[in-house]
Chains A and B, each alone.
Chain A
Amino acid sequence: MSTATRTLRPGHALPSTRRADAAPKVTGEFAYSSDLHAAGMLWGQTVRSPHAHARILGIDVVQARAMPGVHAVLTHEDVPGQKTYGLEFADQPVLAIDRVRYFGEAVAIVAAEEPEQARRAAAAVRVEYEPLEPVTDPEQAAEMAPLHPDRPTMGHGFRDDARPNVVRSMVIRRGDPDAEGDVAVEGVYEIGQQDQAFLGPESGIAIPDGEGGVDIHVATQWLHVDRDQAAPCLALEPEQVRIHLAGVGGAFGGREDLSMQIHAAMLALRTGRPVKIVYNREESFVGHIHRHPARIWAQHRATRDGKLVAVRMRILIDGGAYASSSTAVIANACSFAVGPYAVDNVLVDGLAVYTNNPPCGAMRGFGAVQACFAAEAQMDKLATALEIDSVELRLLNALEPGGMLPTGQVVTGSLPTRDVIRRAAALPVPEPEELPREAIRLPGGAGNTTRGEGVRRGVGFAVGFKNICYSEGFDDYCTARVVLAEDGSAEVHCAAADVGQGVSDVILQVARLELGTDDVTLASGSTARVGSAGSASSSRMTWMAAGAVQTACRAALDERDRSGGAVDVERIYRHPRTYPLDPETGQITDGRAHVALAVAAMRVVAEVDVDLGLTRVVWIGTAQDVGNALNRTAVEGQIEGGTAQGLGLALMEEIQTRDGVIANASFTDYLIPTFLDMPPVVSDLVEEPEPDAPYGVKGVGEPPTVVSTAAIVAALRDATGRELARVPVRPDDIAGL
């Protein structure tokens, strides 16, 4: 039996859809990283830059050190090893050295007996700054003085671009991008900067082991990459830095980069005491990277009967002060720029730049969100120009297996684009609601300001797709370890981070199925006990953890058959290999650049009040290509939650900056969708097994976020007749029709 066809169905191995961690989470017992305590613990606090760009002339810690309860005040001089770190490029100082490049950059750290003492001492650290002109306009960044003169991202196989402040520039060129069609549509689109806004702020505790090493308990997405970044900065061997997964209060990409890990460890090693750091909400807004704001120009050409002839796009993303994963985000934005459509002639020009704006990196959808917003608006424009039904236009151009991506990659796995489009389009839309009605069912909700005279209704549709797992030749693997006891019970180790998506249940489900016993426990994730799982990101964790646990379970059973008794085996799983893109043409250099793809289509009914500029999303129906759904409830939960984040970007979420300084770092000023903002979501799961994945699974977390912003704004365009080329859509964009 091939692994892909081996069946694993909801309920097969799990007694119910109840999460293993549901009970401790509903009772309040579940220990999040911010809940941890250790005997003799100190509290850490970070001193941060009030400037987006400044030279540091001096740091005076004398007064702070002398304050009551204070045990340490550390600066860059106290970083024991390498002074900089980074997820892919070590371009970010652990503590600022001679210059700060963004608002909120860490400059010094303090440890004290009480949190209040630590806060006061942090406020007493005197930093002398000479403010510099901040680079805030990404359009101009490549002509301004370099923020990183040593150009840390160059020379990694990317296109060589000599302009200052270029993180990565990309070209994807296929066929003849100048090919003429019968009609052309053009647009410029803009996407604001979104925050992950996970509810559990960055936090953790570092405990010195008394032998020079340190244990760090933290909420993260990838334990081993945290370790591999922290160890050199602490001048320790990787084995001396043990990262343990503490309860994670959401992640969405925002915990891929380090936050307090190295700082807490430095303070713990210096003081010999456990040190806990917990960011508050305001600090969290500068404590992690954000979704890249983007500007996209697009031109689509098609024949009179609606066949796409050529697509040209320019994509500019603002990476902010440090590289983080910008090089991969721009590659994704370019790879998926056209959407899941077949077109022979393509030119996509992508640029990620450094600025003094807040640093950007991974967030759910990872470049595909921004591209989808532009590409789907273009498809609607084209449908209007051609007077073709917009769903028909998408069906006509749908990319399916056997078709080619703009990178020259032939789609070999599952990609049921037409099925997904048809099924989403077939979901019955609710009837318009009569007026007058309860205020809570009007745009603006319970505000009770009008009786709905200005309400208009619109229906929108969009399709989006994205890669599953890591791409472009990245060595993407996941490790699992299975310990079988004499009594037949089993313990599974896997460092896959359960960030709320429920990967722990997938691991247990797979292990119980493979081992043929329910007597399986999952040990908590730790770099001390098992190899790397890779990151809980890129919609990869279900696939990769299932593959690793399946492989390790089968190896453990073989081993027991051979040797009898207790066994302990560790195995690594890799998905089929991917290859880099040619740096000059963006074409594949071998095989495929992305191992698999997933597609979602969404239909949205929205109302706007054109007098008030307010919106109400009434109903969302979606069909999503989910592979074989291991746990239907969990899949729906990803779709509903992912859709809510896309709704947030469409309607309300944007980090506002002035001269690089964040102006709305709170939940009072940065709004995320509430219960009243979210409509019912109907999900139709299109279950076509992915041939390359264990049990035919696919990742499901990102496609709903990719497609929902585009689909919601399409409904608003239908309601208003306006172009609405920028998200989040503001009341002014809608009012006064």
Chain B
Amino acid sequence: MRVSITVNGEVREAEVWAGESLLTTLRDRLDLPGSKNACEQGECGSCSVLLDDELVCSCLVLAAQADGHEVATVEGLADDGSLHPVQDAFAATGAVQCGFCTPGFVVAAADLLRRVPDPSDDEIREALSGNLCRCTGYQKILDAVHLAVER
């Protein structure tokens, strides 16, 4: 089937399988591999995107469900080559090691700061507890979110 999705402000069309996830469509058909696939079960948050401004795991959304809707991915966060404050903070604090979790984290953290401009440690931990990171132990991610608030 054919779907038409507005991705990062641009209308994109793709031919997809009936059961195909939005994540697969983004990665394999629309050349947007920034969103990652680490579980395909909604457990890790590596595939986090905004669907009509709502944070979702794109592995749990069918491409067909996104038909006619707006999707924002990690690729759309940086503005004209300058990093989003959350991205910049992740780079500055050492919140990135292998980086496989990073796209999901920056999308989720940017969404958190949009809703809660100055979150406490506990609020950050809770809001980002759906995103797994195997490398950092999360501490520097916490630092990054606080730093992004300052900026």
A interface vs B, CB < 8 Å? 16-19, 21-23, 25-32, 34-35, 115-116, 196-201, 247-252, 278, 280-281, 438, 440-441, 446, 499-502, 633-634, 636-637, 640-645, 666-668, 672-676, 678, 680-681
With known contacts A500-B99, A675-B129, A27–B136 Cβ distance under 8 A: no
Q: Does B58 contact A (CB under 8 A)?
A: no
Q: Does B46 contact A (CB under 8 A)?
A: yes
Q: List B contacts of A636 (CB < 8 A).
A: 94, 139-140
CA distance A250 to B77 in the complex (A): 24
Q: Does B106 contact A (CB under 8 A)?
A: yes
CA distance A675 to B44 in the complex (A): 11
B38-60 vs A, CB cutoff 8 Å, 1 = contact: the mask equals 11110110100000000000000
State the Cβ distance, B71 to closest chain A Cβ, in Å: 14
CA distance A644 to B101 in the complex (A): 15
With known contacts A27-B34, A116-B17, A18–B92 Cβ distance under 8 A: yes
With known contacts A23-B83, A34-B37, A199–B134 Cβ distance under 8 A: yes
Interface size of B by CB at 8 A reads 57
With known contacts A667-B44, A668-B41, A644–B132 Cβ distance under 8 A: no
Are B36 and A199 touching (Cβ within 8 A)? yes
Are A640 and B140 touching (Cβ within 8 A)? yes
Q: Does B11 contact A (CB under 8 A)?
A: no
Are A643 and B36 touching (Cβ within 8 A)? no
CA distance A438 to B132 in the complex (A): 23
Minimum CB distance partner of A643 in chain B: B137
Q: Does B126 contact A (CB under 8 A)?
A: yes
Minimum CB distance partner of B105 in chain A: A26
Counting chain B CB atoms within 10 Å of each CB, the highest count among A23, A251, A668, A675 belongs to: A675
CA distance A636 to B125 in the complex (A): 19
Dominant secondary structure at the A interface? loop
Are A672 and B134 touching (Cβ within 8 A)? yes
CA distance A37 to B38 in the complex (A): 18
State the Cβ distance, A203 to closest chain B Cβ, in Å: 10
With known contacts A21-B99, A116-B17, A674-B132, A641–B137 Cβ distance under 8 A: yes
Minimum CB distance partner of B125 in chain A: A675
State the Cβ distance, B117 to closest chain A Cβ, in Å: 19
Q: Does B87 contact A (CB under 8 A)?
A: yes
With known contacts A641-B137, A643-B137, A675-B141, A28–B35 Cβ distance under 8 A: yes
State the Cβ distance, A684 to closest chain B Cβ, in Å: 15
Q: List B contacts of A637 (CB < 8 A).
A: 94, 97, 135-137, 140
CA distance A27 to B100 in the complex (A): 11
Q: Which of B103, B129, B141 contacts A676 (CB 8 A)?
A: B129
State the Cβ distance, A51 to closest chain B Cβ, in Å: 25
Counting chain B CB atoms within 10 Å of each CB, the highest count among A25, A634, A672 belongs to: A25
Q: Does B102 contact A (CB under 8 A)?
A: yes
Q: List A contacts of B119 (CB < 8 A).
A: none
**Across the A-B interface, the 10 shortest Cβ-Cβ residue pairs:** A28-B34, A500-B98, A25-B99, A249-B100, A640-B137, A22-B91, A644-B137, A667-B43, A633-B94, A500-B97
Q: List B contacts of A500 (CB < 8 A).
A: 97-100, 135
